Amino acid sequence: MTDRRAYLDRGVGETRGVVTLDGRPERLLIHRDNDDPFLRVGARVVARVAQVDAALATAFVDLGQGRQAVLNFRPEEKPVRGAALELEVRTEPRRGKLATLRALGPAEGAPRLIAPAPEVSELVSRLSRAPALIEGRAAREQADAAEAEALEVLHPLPGGGEIAIEPTRALVAVDVDVGSRGGGDAKRVTRAANLAALAEAARLLRLKGLGGLVVIDLAGRGHDATALLAAARLAFAPDNPGVAMGQIGRFGTLELTLPRRERSVIERLMEADGRLTAQTLAHRLMRRLLSEGEAQGGARLLARCAPDVAAAARPLTTALTARIGARFEIQAQPAYSSDRFDVAAQ
C-alpha cells in the first residue's frame, strides 16, 4: 500500500506544491505570481481563430495581447477563421512550443479569461488524495528537496545501481545502470535493477514533469518481458489517461509516451544551457530571507547577490515586506556569480 502526502509552500511571489510517495517526492508543482493566467493548464478562455491549416488539422488561435496557442481538431470539427471559441488549456507552452487547447464550444466577444486554472492547493490535494495539506517550514523543506532532486540527472536505485534521465528535443532518455549492485547471479541482479528502475523512472518523470516519448534503456539482455511490462504498467498507472506503451525491443529498450501537461520543472527553473534562471535564484534568495526573518525576529537582514539576481528579486520585495517587515536590504555585487548569495543579520 502506498502512502501519499501533500505539502503546500506559500512562498514570496511563488507557491510550490509537493506530493510525496512513501516519503519521497513524486510531484512538484510551481505557480508564480507573474505566470500568465491565460496559459496555465485548466484555464478556460475565449479566443479567436487566427489561422486554419486543414491539411494538418491544426488551428492557431489568438488569446489577446500577443498570445497564441494551438488547437488540434477533427476534420468534421474544422473551425472557421475569425470565429470565437471557448477553450481550455490542455498543455502549457514549452521552449519552442505553443500551448495547446481543447475546444469546448462556440463563444462571443473578445479574447478573455473565463475561469482561472486550479490553484496549487487544489491540484496537490487531487493528486495525493491526502486528507490535509501540510504547510509551513516542513512544506518549504519538502519543496526544496523536491526541487533539488528534480534538477539532478543521475539518481540512485534502491539496492544499488542508478538511472540517468535526460530530456532531448525528440524524447526523454532513461538509462539503467546496474553498477555495483549485489545480491546473487547476474541475471537475477539485472532483473531486480530493471524492476526498481521502472518504479523510480515513473516517480522521477512525474516529479520532473517530463512527458512525450520516453525511451528506457534497460540493463542487460534476455529480459523477462512479461514481468517488466506488468511492472511498467503498474508504475505508470498514475499518469493515465494518456499513457501508451510498446513492447520491449530487440535492443532492450522500452518505449512509451506520457501525457504532457505543465511545463517541466527543468524548463521552468533553468535556462536552455542548464544554468538556473535569475528568477529561480531570486526566489531562492527570497526563501532564504523569509527563513532568516522568521528565525531572527526583529533583526535587520543584508543580502548580497549578483546584479541579475538583485534585479529579478526587486519585484518580489513588496511581498516579502508584507511577510517580515521592511527590515532587509538587497545589495548587488558585480563580483558575485549568479548562483552565489549571502544573507546575514546586521
**In terms of Cα–Cα distance, which of 15, 65, 42, 58 is closest to 114?**
42
Does 276 map to a domain? yes
Would you state the pLDDT for residue 179?
83
What's 46's domain CATH number? 2.40.50.140
**Mean pLDDT score, 96-124:** 96
User: Do residue 48 and residue 100 come from a single domain?
Assistant: yes
User: Do residue 16 and residue 93 come from a single domain?
Assistant: no
Would you state the pLDDT for residue 2?
77
Would you state the pLDDT for residue 181?
72
- Please give the grid coordinates belonging to residue 235: 508504475
Would you state the pLDDT for residue 14?
97
pLDDT digits (tens, 9 = 90+) for 313-333: 999 999 999 999 999 999 999
Instruction: State the pLDDT confidence band at 124, using cuts at 50, 70 and 90.
Output: very high
Would you state the pLDDT for residue 297?
83
User: Do residue 221 and residue 257 come from a single domain?
Assistant: yes
Q: Rounded distance, CA 175 to CA 188, Å?
A: 19
> Is the pTM value of this prediction over 0.85?
yes
User: Do residue 254 and residue 130 come from a single domain?
Assistant: no
Instruction: State the pLDDT confidence band at 1, using cuts at 50, 70 and 90.
Output: low
User: Do residue 134 and residue 8 come from a single domain?
Assistant: yes
User: Do residue 131 and residue 167 come from a single domain?
Assistant: no
Q: Rounded distance, CA 149 to CA 202, Å?
A: 14
Does 143 map to a domain? no
pLDDT digits (tens, 9 = 90+) for 250-284: 999 999 999 999 999 999 999 999 999 999 999 99
Between 186-208 and 137-151, two packed helices, what is the crossing angle to 10 degrees?
Answer: 120
- Mean pLDDT score of the chain, rounded to an integer? 95
Would you state the pLDDT for residue 334?
97
User: Do residue 18 and residue 106 come from a single domain?
Assistant: no
User: Do residue 133 and residue 105 come from a single domain?
Assistant: no
Which of these three, 264, 297, 315, is where a domain ends? Answer: 264
Q: How many residues does the chain have?
A: 346
User: Do residue 126 and residue 187 come from a single domain?
Assistant: no
C-alpha distances out from residue 79 to 25, 61, 345, Å: 42, 10, 61
User: 88 near 102, Cβ under 8 Å?
Assistant: yes
Q: Rounded distance, CA 303 to CA 281, Å?
A: 13
Q: Is the per-residue pLDDT at 184 higher than 80?
A: no
User: Do residue 125 and residue 83 come from a single domain?
Assistant: no
User: Do residue 320 and residue 335 come from a single domain?
Assistant: yes
User: 47 near 61, Cβ under 8 Å?
Assistant: yes
What's 177's domain CATH number? 3.40.630
DSSP helix/strand/coil, 19: strand
**Mean pLDDT score, 125-146:** 96
User: Do residue 26 and residue 9 come from a single domain?
Assistant: yes
Does 36 map to a domain? no
Q: Peptide bond preceding 37: is omega within 30 degrees of 0, i.e. cis?
A: no
- Please give the grid coordinates belonging to residue 289: 530571507
Q: Give the residue numbers spanning the domain of 156.
A: 152-264
Which of these three, 264, 295, 320, is where a domain ends? Answer: 264
pLDDT digits (tens, 9 = 90+) for 164-181: 999 998 999 999 999 877
Instruction: State the pLDDT confidence band at 182, using cuts at 50, 70 and 90.
Output: low
Would you state the pLDDT for residue 298?
84
What's 339's domain CATH number? 3.40.1260.20
- Total domain count, the chain: 4
Does 291 map to a domain? yes
Would you state the pLDDT for residue 289?
97
Q: Is the per-residue pLDDT at 185 higher than 90?
A: no
**Mean pLDDT score, 239-256:** 96
Instruction: State the pLDDT confidence band at 112, using cuts at 50, 70 and 90.
Output: very high
pLDDT digits (tens, 9 = 90+) for 188-207: 889 999 999 999 999 999 99
Does 144 map to a domain? no
